[in-house]
Amino acid sequence: MIRSLSPSRRRAALLALAGALFALAATAAPPKAWVGNFKDDTVSVIDTGSGSVVATVPVAKGPHGMAVSASGSPLYVSSDGASVVNVIDAATDKVTATIEVGRSPHGLALTPDGRFLLVGVYGEDKVVFVDTATRAIVGMAGVAKPHTIAMRPDGRFAYVASQQPGAFALAVIDIPSRSVARTIALDKPPRDLEFGWDGKALYFTQAGIDAVQVLDAANDNIGASIATGASPHIAMQARGAAFGTVVVQGPGELMLFDPATRKAVRSIAVGKQPHWMAAADGGKTFYVSNEGSNDVTVVDIAKGTTKTIAVGNAPRKVVVQPGDGDAGTKVSIANFAFAPAQLVVALKSAVTWSNDDGAPHGLAFADGKGSTNLLLPGATHSRSFDAPGTYDYVCSVHPYMSGRVVVR
Ligand SMILES: [Cu+2]
């Protein structure tokens, strides 16, 4: 049938067919997990369905920070021993772009709307903003020795671990103005920091302190800490997970804690010198990278069972590709922001916005469909999405409030 078409029509038909097949493959495939092997200069690609390494991608020297787009691709990898961020396409497992950012980049974080990638450029005392569409650096904020970065889920602020000797601090970057709004002084060097999924608490660790510090996001006060074993590295409260989780390097364990009481619940042994973790399956499973035993432990946190996957030399960061609907189909409007600001949903999903604010808002979609000019406090509005694509919207009352729905 294709033979009877003109060459240009034939090409168009083939492209349409390839696109349809790709869309099918993209929705059917289980999520991938990526592990940066610090001493191999590679990224191991794990198929979470089969639990096996399906590809090994060469990257620049010393892969360190990693972040994946909420839409599932691309993956960004910073290289500590170089001055670049590699961009890896999740479908082909190939580096498709290399972004020059400055000497020794460490932590990475994406804004919730996916528009900007923040890179902690440790060797040049700055955090740069990369426009993810053009891959150009469009802004920067001065932060001494920036290590890891936590984006507040509403996209308003990013908290950065600043490891400047004599001036250890958390630097708080105001995202709209791309400048440091305030700093929180610390007595010991901050290591990692992560917001809980609901944005209420920031969990962070410090060198020489065997506890996770909990910062109240409403007022930046540091309250009661969570006692752990030796050398806790990363702590989080993942969406859907029954417990908070901490990677504790000394004993080599994943410690579960109750976020309400701030007490340990139980610990599950993982590999040697665990470094990082990522949640999968809506918070039921965790992938923990073990820098000292060159593997990844897959932990079922309800059952406490584990399985081990061998990777490359000195695995540090691990991230898991978000699945369809991992973030649900509800958007809350609160404090003059959409939360989450970016939602990835399956085809034919209905998304519901609820105005949980004290002021009226509205929804204006770029495609002009499904909008509402007025959403009073307490009201809800739904729109269903019948075609794959990216749907940008703003508040019709406050156009600086922006959000995005990605339909796969
Ligand atoms: Cu508004």
Intra-chain end-to-end CA distance of the chain, in Å: 29
Spatial separation of the C-alpha atoms in residues 327 and 282, rounded to whole Å: 8
Cα–ligand 1 centroid distance for 337 (angstroms)? 7
**Which option is the CATH number for 330-407: 3.40.1160.10, 2.60.40.420, 2.40.50.140, 3.30.1540.10?**
2.60.40.420
Cα–ligand 1 centroid distance for 178 (angstroms)? 22
Cα–ligand 1 centroid distance for 395 (angstroms)? 5
Cα–ligand 1 centroid distance for 338 (angstroms)? 9
User: Is the omega angle on the peptide bond into residue 31 within 30 degrees of 0, that is, cis?
Assistant: no
Cα–ligand 1 centroid distance for 66 (angstroms)? 33
In contact, 335 and 314? CB cutoff 8 Å: no
Cα–ligand 1 centroid distance for 367 (angstroms)? 19
**Residue 310 identity (one-letter amino acid):** A
Alpha helices in 40-125 (DSSP H): none
In contact, 42 and 75? CB cutoff 8 Å: no
Q: 111 is written with which tokens? A: 């804004």
How far, CA to CA in Å, does 179 sit from each of 158, 239, 245? 10, 29, 31
With a CB cutoff of 8 Å and minimum separation 6, the contacts of 147 are 106, 107, 120, 122, 160, 161, 162, 163, 190, 191, 192
Spatial separation of the C-alpha atoms in residues 355 and 349, rounded to whole Å: 20
Confidence (pTM): 0.81
How far, CA to CA in Å, does 84 sit from each of 120, 126, 150, 206, 226? 11, 14, 20, 27, 36
DSSP 3-state assignment of 55? strand
Please write down the HEC assignment for all residues of the chain: CHHHCCHHHHHHHHHHHHHHHHHHHHHHCCCEEEEEECCCCEEEEEECCCCEEEEEEECCCCEEEEEECCCCCCEEEEECCCCEEEEEECCCCEEEEEEECCCCEEEEEECCCCCEEEEEEHHHCEEEEEECCCCCEEEEEECCCEEEEEECCCCCEEEEEECCCCCCEEEEEECCCCEEEEEEECCCCEEEEEECCCCCEEEEEECCCCEEEEEECCCCEECCCEECCCCEEEEECCCCCCCEEEEECCCCEEEEEECCCCEEEEEEECCCCEEEEEEEHHHCEEEEEECCCCEEEEEECCCCEEEEEECCCCEEEEEECCCCCCCCCEEEEECCEEECCEEEECCCCEEEEEECCCCCEEEEECCCCCCEEEECCCCEEEEECCCCEEEEEECCCCCCCEEEEEEC
Cα–ligand 1 centroid distance for 401 (angstroms)? 6
User: Is the omega angle on the peptide bond into residue 340 within 30 degrees of 0, that is, cis?
Assistant: yes
Cα–ligand 1 centroid distance for 397 (angstroms)? 5
Per domain, the residue ranges of the chain are 31-320, 330-407
Cα–ligand 1 centroid distance for 396 (angstroms)? 7
Tell me which H or E stretch contains 303. none
> pLDDT tens string for the chain (408 positions)?
344 455 555 555 554 544 444 444 444 478 999 999 999 999 999 999 999 999 999 999 999 999 999 888 999 999 999 999 999 999 999 999 999 999 999 999 999 888 999 999 999 999 999 999 999 999 999 999 999 999 998 889 999 999 999 999 999 999 999 999 999 999 999 999 999 988 899 999 999 999 999 999 999 999 889 999 999 999 999 988 889 999 999 999 999 999 999 999 999 999 999 999 999 988 899 999 999 999 999 999 999 999 999 999 999 999 999 876 566 788 989 889 888 888 888 888 899 999 999 999 999 999 999 999 999 999 999 999 989 888 999 999 999 899 988 887
Output phi, psi for 398, to 5 deg.
-125, 85
Spatial separation of the C-alpha atoms in residues 233 and 397, rounded to whole Å: 42
Cα–ligand 1 centroid distance for 372 (angstroms)? 11
**So what's the pLDDT on residue 22?**
46
Spatial separation of the C-alpha atoms in residues 297 and 115, rounded to whole Å: 32
Cα–ligand 1 centroid distance for 394 (angstroms)? 8
Cα–ligand 1 centroid distance for 282 (angstroms)? 30
CATH topology of domain 31-320: Methylamine Dehydrogenase; Chain H (2.130.10)
Cα–ligand 1 centroid distance for 238 (angstroms)? 28
**So what's the pLDDT on residue 99?**
98
Answer whether 31-320 and 330-407 agree in fold: no
Cα–ligand 1 centroid distance for 392 (angstroms)? 15
**So what's the pLDDT on residue 23?**
45
Strand order across the 146-151 sheet: 146-151, 157-162, 169-174, 179-185
Cα–ligand 1 centroid distance for 334 (angstroms)? 9
DSSP 3-state assignment of 2? helix
In contact, 217 and 199? CB cutoff 8 Å: yes
